[in-house]
A and B are shown apart, each in its own frame.
Chain A
Amino acid sequence: AQTVTQSQPEMSVQEAETVTLSCTYDTSESDYYLFWYKQPPSRQMILVIRQEAYKQQNATENRFSVNFQKAAKSFSLKISDSQLGDAAMYFCAYRDTGTASKLTFGTGTRLQVTL
């Protein structure tokens, strides 16, 4: 079974600074997807960024980018120019390419943004 590990329960960053959230995963598959979800206090699950395993290029979405290391099974999220609105729980997730796209989540990292 696939597992996703987030070893940082909490992180803190100053506004306008950069922070990196870590994620490692375990799978025997060669083709899969990886995601970062943001969960603000409203509890809504918001997709931040997505990476297809077959793509070597790291995904970017505005201030959010990933460092995808397939051989090391590592998938970190970098948030640049942090804003107060970035404060939330962040979940790393794995999904296989089967018909049913079941997600396996990590335990989350709570990000605080300070002035």
Chain B
Amino acid sequence: NAGVTQTPKFQVLKTGQSMTLQCAQDMNHNSMYWYRQDPGMGLRLIYYSASEGTTDKGEVPNGYNVSRLNKREFSLRLESAAPSQTSVYFCASNQHRERVLFGPGTRLTVT
């Protein structure tokens, strides 16, 4: 059981470039989430997917898109990266009412 995996672990982008952060879980969880963590602000929810085939906006969705490719995978796309998107990104998953498990995070820097 790998749990929740994220790729890449680190990424540097120039303003305006695009990229996709990948997330996968092998626990057959229905729900998956993307959070960002900025200094002094805790983790904030970007998007979530309550079940395969559904996605919904969280607290800070602007500038991002998501795809729930299948039950295992939930990707986060930055179409045109901005310096304000410099952050640490966490993917997470869970089954209803069970504990939420987090991936190891991706540190993204946009210059």
**Interface residue ranges, A against B (CB under 8 Å):** 4, 9, 42-45, 47, 50, 91, 95, 97, 99-108
Contacts and interface: CB of A to CB of B under 8 A. Distances in A.
A47 B100 CA distance: 9
Given A44-B105, A47-B100, A99-B51, 11 more contacts: A43-B105, A50-B99, A99-B50, A99-B96, A102-B33, A103-B35, A103-B45, A105-B42, A107-B42, A108-B40, A108-B42
A99 B88 contact: no
Interface of B: 31, 33, 35, 40-45, 48-51, 56, 58, 88, 90, 92, 94, 96-97, 99-100, 102, 104-105, 107
Contacts of A99: 31, 50-51, 96
A50 B97 CA distance: 12
B42 A91 contact: yes
B97 A101 contact: yes
A91 B90 CA distance: 14
Nearest to B106: A43
A86 B107 CA distance: 24
Contacts, number: 55
A61 to B, nearest CB: 13
Contacts of A91: 42-43
Contacts of B94: 101
21 contacts: A4-B42, A9-B40, A43-B104, A43-B107, A44-B102, A44-B104, A45-B102, A97-B97, A99-B31, A99-B50, A100-B31, A101-B31, A101-B97, A102-B58, A103-B35, A103-B43, A103-B100, A104-B45, A105-B42, A107-B41, A108-B42
